[in-house]
Amino acid sequence: MLKKSFNRRLFLQGSGGLAVAGLLPTVPLNAAPSHFSDVAGLSAGQWQTLAAVQEHLFPAQPDTPGADDLNALVYLQNVLSQPEQTPEDRNFIRDGVLQVADISRQQQQKAFTELNESQREQVLRHMEQDKTGAQWLRTVLNYLMEALLTDPVYGGNPRGIGWTWVGHEHGFPRPPTDKRYFLL
């Protein structure tokens, strides 16, 4: 767990008011990772690596949703699938996943998904030392924040579990599926 630089839980709890993430786009909640492989140029295995990074950065704990609980991977796939996303944005995510995989193979001689928590931490700490790697980790954390706080109609935060966790009362009216901002 990345504990030296900052405490993610306190950061996220303190940021509960940033519910503007609910304005971001999505596609259906049940879309499988392989459906999105061509969106960012990631294979199903690379999407699994990204999911493992997300879960390491924001793990589930008792009474606390983790990245998987928040549909963080599907949410990120949804965002990357929107036409307004630039190829540079998609490539940045893809290149970061490739960097995680490379560091994992070099340091641990295993895929990131095969590593234990301590080994994953070592890989991400190594990545954090590189300017681009640190930016990639911040970007992944930002998307995790969005998945935590978005209106469920946009693909993350199923059943409002993120809102419940941070004690946020959502506004009314909530957007119906056919009136999401990017459809208007």
> Does residue 84 surpass a pLDDT of 70?
yes
* Percent of the residues in the chain that have a pLDDT greater than 90, as a whole number: 49
* Percent of the residues in the chain that have a pLDDT greater than 70, as a whole number: 76
Please name the residue ranges forming H helices in 21-116: 37-40, 44-57, 72-80, 87-108
What integer pLDDT is reported at residue 136 of this predicted model?
Answer: 98
> Does residue 181 surpass a pLDDT of 80?
no
> Does residue 31 surpass a pLDDT of 80?
no
Of 55, 130, 142, the residue nearest 96 (C-alpha): 130
> Does residue 103 surpass a pLDDT of 70?
yes
Q: What is the pTM of this model?
A: 0.77
Neighbours of 130 (CB within 10 A): 13
> Does residue 19 surpass a pLDDT of 60?
no
> Does residue 9 surpass a pLDDT of 80?
no
What integer pLDDT is reported at residue 78 of this predicted model?
Answer: 86
Tokens of residue 23, six digits: 């304005």
Comparing 52 with 164, the larger pLDDT belongs to: 52
Tokens of residue 104, six digits: 């994992």
Whole-angstrom Cα distance, residue 137 to residue 88? Answer: 16
> Does residue 21 surpass a pLDDT of 50?
no
Neighbours of 76 (CB within 10 A): 26
What integer pLDDT is reported at residue 130 of this predicted model?
Answer: 94
From the centroid of its chain, how far is CA 115?
19
Long-range CB pairs of 131-137, under 8 A, 24+ apart, other chains included:
132/95, 132/96, 132/99, 133/96, 133/99, 136/92, 136/93, 136/95, 136/96, 136/99, 137/2, 137/57, 137/96
